[in-house]
Amino acid sequence: MKEYIKIHPWQIVEEGFHRENVKVSESVFSIGNGRMGQRANFEEDYSGETLQGSYLAGVYYPDKTRVGWWKNGYPEYFAKVLNSVSWNQIRVEVDGQVIDLNQMEPLNFTRTLDMKQGLLKRAYRVVTAKGIELEFDWTRFVSMKRKNLGVIALSIKASADCQINIQSKLSGDVHNQDSNYDEFFWQDTQAGVEGSQLWVTQETKKTNFSIAASSLHNIVLDTNSYTVNLSTEDRGSLANFNVRLEKNQELQLQKYTAVCSSMYGPEAELRNSAHAEAQEASHVGLAALLREQSQEWARIWHNCDVEIEGDDEAQQSIRFNIFQLFQTYTGDDSRLNIGPKGFTGEKYGGSTYWDTEAYCLPFYLATAPSDVARNLLVYRYNQLDKAIENAQKLGFTKGAALYPMVTMNGEECHNEWEITFEEIHRNGAIAYAVYDYINYTGDTGYMAEYGLEVLLGISRFWSQRVHFSENKQQWVMLGVTGPNEFENNVNNNWYTNKFAVWCLNYTRDQIHLLQKENPKRFAEIASKTAFAASEITRWDEITSNMYFPYDADRNVYLQQDGFLDKELIPVSQLSADQRPIVEHWSWDRILRSCYIKQADVLQGFYFFEDEFDLDSHKRHFDFYEPLTVHESSLSPCIHSILANKIGNSDKAYEFYLRTARLDLNDINNDTCDGCHITSMAGTWMTISKGFAGLRVRDGRLHLSPNIPQKWKSIRFNIRFRENYLRISLYKEQVEVENIEGPSLLINSWGVDFQVEPKQSKRIDYAKK
Amino acid sequence: MKEYIKIHPWQIVEEGFHRENVKVSESVFSIGNGRMGQRANFEEDYSGETLQGSYLAGVYYPDKTRVGWWKNGYPEYFAKVLNSVSWNQIRVEVDGQVIDLNQMEPLNFTRTLDMKQGLLKRAYRVVTAKGIELEFDWTRFVSMKRKNLGVIALSIKASADCQINIQSKLSGDVHNQDSNYDEFFWQDTQAGVEGSQLWVTQETKKTNFSIAASSLHNIVLDTNSYTVNLSTEDRGSLANFNVRLEKNQELQLQKYTAVCSSMYGPEAELRNSAHAEAQEASHVGLAALLREQSQEWARIWHNCDVEIEGDDEAQQSIRFNIFQLFQTYTGDDSRLNIGPKGFTGEKYGGSTYWDTEAYCLPFYLATAPSDVARNLLVYRYNQLDKAIENAQKLGFTKGAALYPMVTMNGEECHNEWEITFEEIHRNGAIAYAVYDYINYTGDTGYMAEYGLEVLLGISRFWSQRVHFSENKQQWVMLGVTGPNEFENNVNNNWYTNKFAVWCLNYTRDQIHLLQKENPKRFAEIASKTAFAASEITRWDEITSNMYFPYDADRNVYLQQDGFLDKELIPVSQLSADQRPIVEHWSWDRILRSCYIKQADVLQGFYFFEDEFDLDSHKRHFDFYEPLTVHESSLSPCIHSILANKIGNSDKAYEFYLRTARLDLNDINNDTCDGCHITSMAGTWMTISKGFAGLRVRDGRLHLSPNIPQKWKSIRFNIRFRENYLRISLYKEQVEVENIEGPSLLINSWGVDFQVEPKQSKRIDYAKK
């Protein structure tokens, strides 16, 4: 838990240099535009601890896995987001002294992430060994409009005449800290100087992604007392500026870098493209680019901002979460997905997890045009063949599909057996996303076009994964890992069993619907997938007689078989020095303890809330929440939503801050590795599904607000089918402005109200 | 399953060159003397697949582990038996053509492991490109008398005059194939030539074991038409012989190599020692060394042979098992132990497993002076502090000891959590060994001197590892892996629970006994270990109310909670192409299947047989055996013993062959990695505990034979306390010769008979 970030509604601010938190700040202040992104590493030299990171969307490397004892079915590689060409290194020497904030004591240091405009800024003063005081001002951004462009602007003033040397690099000499065998992942690196540009081209080993980068510099000085010299280095190129800076004179340097990858253009043209884009940026100039950037972010905020009145801490937090989400994924490319760390670190390899469907989808459904969410679904549709292959590797047949736990291209690339082979509930979330998307958007055509094939593959998997227990005379599912990864290889995880039954029923219903409504398309799918009606017979046998662990005394579903044999000691009785337990306890101790890493049974209540009454919600929340340590970033948001549901406003607010400020306050002591991007969408859900009570039932929008005591109002826009709405929530009123779209009937706490086009409607509500 | 080894009562014979089995043969024909050993790699070049291996007892390397996702408490290293200086490489060129059996077709190839004399021999003829036929004869052994000595004798004859070049190496350029990061484990390698000797010295990284090796050659030729040239190479030295060999002339070359390690001498003297030992061997000469070797093995066989009349296949097999055991461990050094592969391969790192206590101890108890078995126990006593440290790492306190699953020096060095942290039943076997040793030898003093401290540490572990289940109102043990490693992280593994209770009771009884019989010594131990009487109170609570999974319908104990929820399909219904399942199925599929890798509940019946009646044995055997795939080498022997016990002679014999010929027939398709040394002691147990029905109860020797239909008799010697006995078993008679020791009362199938000193007694028996 750290509290060095200043509260500000639109900015993330570090005041005074927090050397002990440099790696955390590098994560928190990260910048990105969905296509490229980087950690907030300093431009100038920094000799202290740092995790250098600069990443390109979709450019990955299949690092050779590191496994002690191989097990049949393990993937051969672990895909890694690649540390890519570095364009932020700008060494500054003043009278021969290298500026290095680890060696100097900066004065008036401020670092600001201006979320409104999408800018990373730093300003500070340092005094050199010779006693000259220098004032530095850095601005950096990756352009939201020009997806391949990164810009750095530097201003230096000195308190006395001095000699300044600036070495600005474009470097392909970049390494992943998490490389398993200290391998360099790039090959054929070439670098050079052409006219006034620096350039680097290189290619990944194995995956053969090519990239080209080009940098141009612009120096602004009211004298001509400087020289520029460009040169080529090993794996990079360098612009060397020698400037005679006079007292109180300002030196400005701008660096425009374009990085093009073969994800978005033919390899042969990359170098030219990069050059042309850098050139154009340089012609447009800094001021215009800053205006563009501000306009682009204004457009995003206009659609997606959440305004919280009365609580700047909460306000800052939700904007930070939204800001990072849009920096990570903009939804314009169905080949891309949302890595748990986005562009803010190497951990989890930038790969796709079930986080996308379970946490991110609702965010993009409500805040972006529907093709953004659709692209996320099509991503999985495109990988269906590989999911079928993956299931085959594990012994499943006849088109059963097991989507990977971790993937870059549809292939599984995690390799702990307890996760890869057993954390199969991910299949449920991927199926649920089809339902969620259609339910929210009303795009029923998606089912025929893409959805049903995915559902069929997944249902076939469940159908083979369960078996009939002669002992129980019920269907069971053995050897799984639920969302709570503090349990491995358990029998009858309630959540997974629940999801299996849901998938089978939903798929059956959708098959029947399509048979009726579009028999031709259904016949095509049935033929393509060799579907037999007898499959449904088996599904019905399973779903009508599935076993769910249950305790009659407490009237609660049990997380898994044997859960009650554990010592049930509430987390509140754990001493602080044992937390987080994952850092202090051996794995076996964690496994046999009752402690829950993240919502498991409660995650099922979150998804299937309408199947359970409020008392049941309360009982399960009261049983499980005290045993939950929330050592997954995905946990607090679900608990906030459920706490809201059961009317526990204090807990709902507590969990809101815990999810929203997870990285800002480094709550789990791991933000140094990168920000928890996917859980940020969960933060947004605590607002929309939690405090606002937003649901879509039978095609109707529901709002059942319950806003925290401290807040005066919440305002946000959503897209809902044909409508674009502005929603304002007050303590006892809800207001909806129908910005775009037809007249809309909305339900609030059971009361219907109609909002006409371009009109607002504000009504009192009475909580049930 | 391979059947290329010829049956012979005293020899392992390969006739005709089986190129496809070279790596299997390299394992099977391995030689060793307990101090050093090596795989049967060819001396001459071999360009085909090979696993080069030459090992020194106790010389290991802590290789950096390879783990995908680190878990708290994992050890930092995996200890590896080290591929050590290679002295068997002798390249032969004839008229410039390298002899390479992978490139040539050998004629009349025979390879023989002469178990009676402890010799590895090969003979063959090859025809060179020039049409000259050459006859090669190789003999190799590591001396049972001179523990640092290895000898190679080569004879070559040619069908026509030819030029022969021989390059005999002493090489420190040796690598482990299983090195995790392709690291070279040796440092400071020096090599040279001094007078007529080749020498190499080197040291392991990190562990700093030093070794020195010295080779001397002797050439025998009835002309002087040869030259010798010694030289130094990178990491080695070389003797180069150029010989003009005439038609039908015989060239003999002998190579005497001594390898000394700092395990057995001060580093500074190693080189001199090696030189002196090689020199002495060379003076003694080949003929005398062969006589010595033959005498040493005759001495071993005299004491330890098992003679089976009427079944050469069975005879060859048991001798092979005994031979390999004595090649691996001779019991003269309590720092050493018995690696699962001995000196025959790298796998399992040459480390100590529970195999030693559960499988090997009975063999050494009966066949060797009692200090050999005692040394095996003292090995664990000496590592008690580290077992306590190991338990502390996992969160246990107050002197609780968890012995490692895999160790070289007392530290855990495996790193799969499901094994390291959860396969804790090893603690049971280590405690049982104390009981077993004292029960067999009558050496009750061991308890006071060493045993009780070990028992106390282990019992404290169990006492903390269980907890009281409010739900069951009984004590439970969650999250373990039993002997059947095809289950991970199960609750209430019957075998482990059983062992925990046994340990607690046995420790309590021994504490009470020592309190009574030697209160002074007890007070010392109590003080050293901070023992409190209240500990026993808790133990009694646990043991009197421990939960054991049980099925009332079948009246069988269940392997673990939930076992009956599995699909119970007998192994006989698995198709052959699915076997071994570990090679064909993914890990999760194996885990949720009912298939048992090795005896688990039945292993408990083996240890605690007297607690269960014969019907119970039958019921449990009939329930579990059909579900057992025996994919651990440790499985068939236990099943043979139990089959014998329940009167199923056919199964007993079938399992005997399966354990005895596991490597000779490569039954599990993994002998290429090395022989299964520890299970070979299990083979010996199928004879002694199985067919002979040997038990010690209340200090009395029992023999309840039940020999296979095909066999006329079994004969073997055992040591039992003060007696040295020769036992002959016939279909309906048992004969005991009291070779040494006082008059002895023996029980056979319930009938007592007395055997006087130096007398034999033969009685009819009637099986119950």
User: pLDDT digits over B440-459, tens only?
Assistant: 999 999 999 999 999 999 99
For residue B423, what pLDDT band results from cuts at 50, 70 and 90?
very high
Q: What is the pLDDT of residue A72?
A: 82
- Rounded Cα distance, A767 and A751, in Å: 10
For residue A349, what pLDDT band results from cuts at 50, 70 and 90?
low
User: pLDDT digits over A420-472, tens only?
Assistant: 999 999 999 999 999 999 999 999 999 999 999 999 999 999 999 999 999 99
Contact assignment for B471 to A421 by CB distance below 8 Å = no
Architecture of domain B29-303: Distorted Sandwich (2.70)
Contacts with B562 from chain A: Cβ below 8 Å:
478, 491, 561-562
Contact assignment for B562 to A394 by CB distance below 8 Å = no
Helices (H) and strands (E) in chain B, counts: 22, 33
User: pLDDT digits over A524-549, tens only?
Assistant: 999 999 999 999 999 999 999 999 99
Asked if residue B286 lies in contact with residue B153, where contact means CB atoms within 8 angstroms, the answer is: yes
**Beta-carbon neighbour count of residue A767 at 10 Å?**
12
Q: Which of B546, B532, B538 is closest to B500 using CA atoms?
A: B546
Q: What is the pLDDT of residue A75?
A: 82
Q: What is the pLDDT of residue A420?
A: 92
Q: Which of B378, B273, B336 is closest to B57 using CA atoms?
A: B336
Q: Where are the beta strands (DSSP E) in A159-209?
A: 162-171, 186-194, 197-204
| A20: exposed, middle or buried (Cβ count in 10 Å: 0-12, 13-18, 19+) | exposed
Q: Which two three-digit tokens encode residue A253?
A: 């340097």
Element containing residue A658 per DSSP (H, E) = helix A649-660
Element containing residue B465 per DSSP (H, E) = helix B452-465
Asked if residue B371 lies in contact with residue B201, where contact means CB atoms within 8 angstroms, the answer is: no
- Rounded Cα distance, A458 and A500, in Å: 9
Q: Is B485 designated active site?
A: yes
| Three-state DSSP state, A283 | helix
Instruction: Give the one of B72, B393, B567 whose C-beta lies nearest to A467's C-beta.
Output: B567
Contact assignment for B489 to A491 by CB distance below 8 Å = no
Instruction: Give the one of A66, A71, A489 whose C-beta lies nearest to B67's C-beta.
Output: A66
Q: Which two three-digit tokens encode residue B140?
A: 């190799």
Mean of the pLDDT values across residues B538-543? 98
Residue with tokens 């088996």: A538
For residue A331, what pLDDT band results from cuts at 50, 70 and 90?
confident
Asked if residue B30 lies in contact with residue B37, where contact means CB atoms within 8 angstroms, the answer is: yes
Q: Which two three-digit tokens encode residue A295?
A: 């306009």
Q: Which of A477, A548, A587, A595 is the best substitution to test chain B (most B C-beta atoms within 10 A)?
A: A587
* Phi, psi torsion values for B547, nearest 5 degrees: -90, 135
For residue A180, what pLDDT band results from cuts at 50, 70 and 90?
confident
User: Is residue B329 over pLDDT 70?
Assistant: yes
Q: What is the pLDDT of residue B415?
A: 82
| CATH fold label, A5-274 | Beta-galactosidase; Chain A, domain 5 (2.70.98)
N-terminal to C-terminal alpha carbon distance within chain B: 37
Contact assignment for A585 to B421 by CB distance below 8 Å = no
- Would the CA dihedral through B389, B390, B392, B397 be positive or negative? negative
DSSP secondary structure of A368-435: S-HHHHHHHHHHHHHTHHHHHHHHHHTT--TT-----SSBSSSSB----HHHHTT-TTHHHHHHHHHH
Least Cα separation, residue A563 to chain B (angstroms): 10
**Beta-carbon neighbour count of residue A210 at 10 Å?**
20
Within 8 A by CB and 6+ apart from A767, the residues are: A704, A706, A749
User: Is residue B752 over pLDDT 60?
Assistant: yes
Within 8 A by CB and 6+ apart from B664, the residues are: B5, B12, B28, B316, B317, B320
Nearest residue of A to residue B468 by CA position? A567
Residue with tokens 């740092």: A50
User: pLDDT digits over B180-221, tens only?
Assistant: 888 899 999 999 999 999 999 999 998 999 999 999 999 999
CB-hemisphere CA count at 13 Å for A136? 31
N-terminal to C-terminal alpha carbon distance within chain A: 37
For residue B349, what pLDDT band results from cuts at 50, 70 and 90?
low
- Rounded Cα distance, A619 and B218, in Å: 87
Mean of the pLDDT values across residues A140-155? 98
- Rounded Cα distance, A12 and B160, in Å: 91
Q: Which two three-digit tokens encode residue A457?
A: 């593959």
Domain edges within chain B: 29-303
- Rounded Cα distance, B55 and B191, in Å: 19
User: pLDDT digits over A512-526, tens only?
Assistant: 999 999 999 999 999
- Rounded Cα distance, A508 and A514, in Å: 10
- Rounded Cα distance, A585 and A578, in Å: 8
Q: Which of B41, B88, B94 is closest to B241 using CA atoms?
A: B94
User: pLDDT digits over A549-582, tens only?
Assistant: 999 999 999 999 999 999 999 999 999 999 999 9
Contact assignment for A583 to B476 by CB distance below 8 Å = no
Strand partners, A583: none
Dmax over CA atoms of chain B, in Å, equals: 90
Mean of the pLDDT values across residues B725-738? 96
Within 8 A by CB and 6+ apart from A104, the residues are: A126, A127
| Three-state DSSP state, A134 | strand
For residue A768, what pLDDT band results from cuts at 50, 70 and 90?
low
Asked if residue B634 lies in contact with residue B679, where contact means CB atoms within 8 angstroms, the answer is: yes
User: pLDDT digits over B243-278, tens only?
Assistant: 999 999 999 999 999 999 999 999 999 999 999 999
User: Is residue B285 over pLDDT 80?
Assistant: yes
Least Cα separation, residue A205 to chain B (angstroms): 20
**Beta-carbon neighbour count of residue B67 at 10 Å?**
19
Contacts with B561 from chain A: Cβ below 8 Å:
561-562, 565
Contact assignment for A565 to B478 by CB distance below 8 Å = yes
The ipTM (two decimal places) reads 0.92
Contacts with B583 from chain A: Cβ below 8 Å:
72
In percent, the amount of chain A with pLDDT more than 90 equals 90
Q: Which of A69, A402, A425, A588 is the best substitution to test chain B (most B C-beta atoms within 10 A)?
A: A588
- Rounded Cα distance, A282 and A254, in Å: 9
Contacts with A397 from chain B: Cβ below 8 Å:
none
Asked if residue A629 lies in contact with residue A578, where contact means CB atoms within 8 angstroms, the answer is: no
Strand order across the beta sheet in which B149-158 lies: B5-6, B11-15, B107-114, B119-127, B133-142, B149-158, B250-261, B210-220, B197-204, B186-194
- Rounded Cα distance, B254 and B627, in Å: 53
For residue B768, what pLDDT band results from cuts at 50, 70 and 90?
low
Dmax over CA atoms of chain A, in Å, equals: 90
b/e string for A653-687 if b means 16 or more Cβ within 10 A? bebbbbbbbbbbbbbbebbbbbbbbbbbbbbbbbb
- Rounded Cα distance, A452 and A649, in Å: 39
What does DSSP say about strands B133-142 and A760-764: parallel, antiparallel, or unpaired? Answer: unpaired
Contact assignment for B489 to A489 by CB distance below 8 Å = yes
b/e string for A25-61 if b means 16 or more Cβ within 10 A? bbbbbbbbbbbbbbbbbbbbbbeeeebbbbbbbbbbb
- Rounded Cα distance, B416 and B584, in Å: 21
User: Is residue B611 over pLDDT 80?
Assistant: yes
Mean of the pLDDT values across residues A741-747? 97
Contact assignment for A562 to B562 by CB distance below 8 Å = yes
Q: Which two three-digit tokens encode residue A406?
A: 């971790």
Helices (H) and strands (E) in chain A, counts: 22, 33
Catalytic residue among B357, B422, B453, B485: B485
Q: What is the pLDDT of residue B258?
A: 98
Query: Across the A/B interface, how many CB contacts are shorter than 8 Å?
Result: 122
Catalytic residue among A44, A485, A487, A631: A485
For residue A67, what pLDDT band results from cuts at 50, 70 and 90?
confident
Nearest residue of B to residue A583 by CA position? B72
Helix %, strand %, coil % for chain A, to 5? 35, 25, 35
Asked if residue B171 lies in contact with residue B58, where contact means CB atoms within 8 angstroms, the answer is: no
Nearest residue of B to residue A178 by CA position? B68
Q: Which of B393, B471, B481, B586 is the best substitution to test chain A (most A C-beta atoms within 10 A)?
A: B586
Q: Which two three-digit tokens encode residue B668?
A: 């599990």
Separation in Å, CA A457 to CA A427, A429, A432, A526, B90: 10, 14, 13, 12, 60
User: Is residue A384 over pLDDT 60?
Assistant: yes
HEC string of B677-706 equals HHHHHHHHHHHHHHHCCCEEECCEEECCCC
Contact assignment for B565 to A472 by CB distance below 8 Å = yes
Contacts with B470 from chain A: Cβ below 8 Å:
564, 568
Least Cα separation, residue B501 to chain A (angstroms): 19
Instruction: Give the one of B467, B491, B565 whose C-beta lies nearest to A478's C-beta.
Output: B565
Q: Where are the beta strands (DSSP E) in B184-292?
A: 186-194, 197-204, 210-220, 226-233, 236-245, 250-261
Contacts with B565 from chain A: Cβ below 8 Å:
469, 471-472, 476, 478, 491, 561
Least Cα separation, residue A413 to chain B (angstroms): 11
Q: Which of B245, B172, B238, B179 is closest to B210 using CA atoms?
A: B172
Asked if residue B457 lies in contact with residue B474, where contact means CB atoms within 8 angstroms, the answer is: no
User: pLDDT digits over B368-401, tens only?
Assistant: 988 999 999 999 999 999 999 999 999 999 999 9
Instruction: Give the one of B394, B476, B562 whose C-beta lies nearest to A589's C-beta.
Output: B394
Asked if residue A736 lies in contact with residue A746, where contact means CB atoms within 8 angstroms, the answer is: yes
Mean of the pLDDT values across residues B725-737? 96
